Amino acid sequence: MTKDKDIIKRIVIFLASLFAVTYTYEFAILYPQWKVVGSIGALNTAAVMLFPALCVLLTRTVTKEGFNDCMLNPNFVKGKIRYYVGAWVFPPLFAILGALIYFMIFRSEFSPDLEYYVGVLSKQGAAVSVSGLRTALIGSVFSGLVFSPILNVVTCFGEEWGWRAYLQPRLSKLLGPIPAVFVTGAVWGLWHLPLTIMGHNYGLGYPGYPVTGIISMCIFCVILGISFAYITFRTGSVWPAVIAHGSVNGFASIGIYFTKNGGNPFVGPSVTGIIGGIPLIIMAVFALVRLLKDTGEVPEVIEARPLIPDGAFRTQIREAQMPMPEVKDETAVDASDASEGKNNGQ
């Protein structure tokens, strides 16, 4: 019970400090600026992404929790490299595939002449050449595929070290791994609330504004969070989620450039839409099934140590299921005690 109280205390301090700092900064500083200029600067949003990591540092320091379980070891060994490759490659491929699905359904929305993009640049007073834009866009796609996770590593680490490496493991100890994944995703979405009100991802003036956008952002974060949790579970490291987050941010809106009017953020071709996000939804379902399979085998073991590297995870399950031999002297321990000892010794 004391251990649960300590976990709850740390979660409360982390979330209270994070939401207080974030909402104060965004409503007191960014919102008045947004009301005047009608937009939010990229540097302002980048700064917000660092807040979760800063609040992790604060919480660990204030509660004297220490830094032994930071999940900073990349565990970059055979059997786990594929999760890094997938985190790097799949998000942009899924964003492109989602856009293709959207344009197959809404063919009249597709603009090979990049009408929406040309219109945006023209309003900014830029000289526009459609052929030049196409060439530049193709180059951006290939360079983004390579460099997006690298360019976004600092800001995405700022978020993922808070969500996947701190909040989620602690919620797992209280709620179990699967509920923790959903709760972490929902909290992540609510954390975006001020930016959503200011038009981030979903714009303004849509039916039900801003509630519809806030709910949609929570759902989107849960979907992403399932996949991010899966690769975190499998590697025991925060870095694959950081890479995947950076890739998503770099390619989330790639399809918009090929629309006539910018598309619909609730539909597509952006990955935030129900159609543009189909590949990400499928990936989340796959990840959830695998998580349910893994955590369903020996729930008590996973609840004790929710984030176990893949190889150790399998080994621990086998050990937990293996009957202990009978010992007849007074120093004997039963199977549950032996299993607990193994868990604590890993």
Residue 341 clears pLDDT 80, i.e. is over it: no
Residue 227 clears pLDDT 50, i.e. is over it: yes
Q: Does any domain span residue 314?
A: no
DSSP summary character for residue 325: P
Residue 288 clears pLDDT 70, i.e. is over it: yes
Average pLDDT over all residues of the chain: 86
Q: Does any domain span residue 33?
A: no
Q: Are 21 and 55 in contact (CB under 8 A)?
A: yes
Q: Where in the sequence is the domain holding 141, given as residue range(s)? A: 72-304
Q: Does any domain span residue 342?
A: no
Q: Does any domain span residue 38?
A: no
Q: Does any domain span residue 197?
A: yes
pLDDT (average), residues 27-37: 93
pLDDT (average), residues 48-55: 98
Q: Does any domain span residue 293?
A: yes
Q: Does any domain span residue 344?
A: no
Q: Does any domain span residue 5?
A: no
The span from the CA of 81 to the CA of 8, in Å, is 34
Percent of the chain residues past pLDDT 90, beyond the cut? 71
SS3 content of the chain, % helix, strand, coil (to 5): 70, 0, 25
State residue 320's pLDDT score: 36
Among 40-44, 180-184, 284-288, where is mean pLDDT lowest? 40-44
| Residue 345: Cβ within 10 Å count | 6
The span from the CA of 238 to the CA of 49, in Å, is 15
Q: How many structural domains is the chain composed of?
A: 1
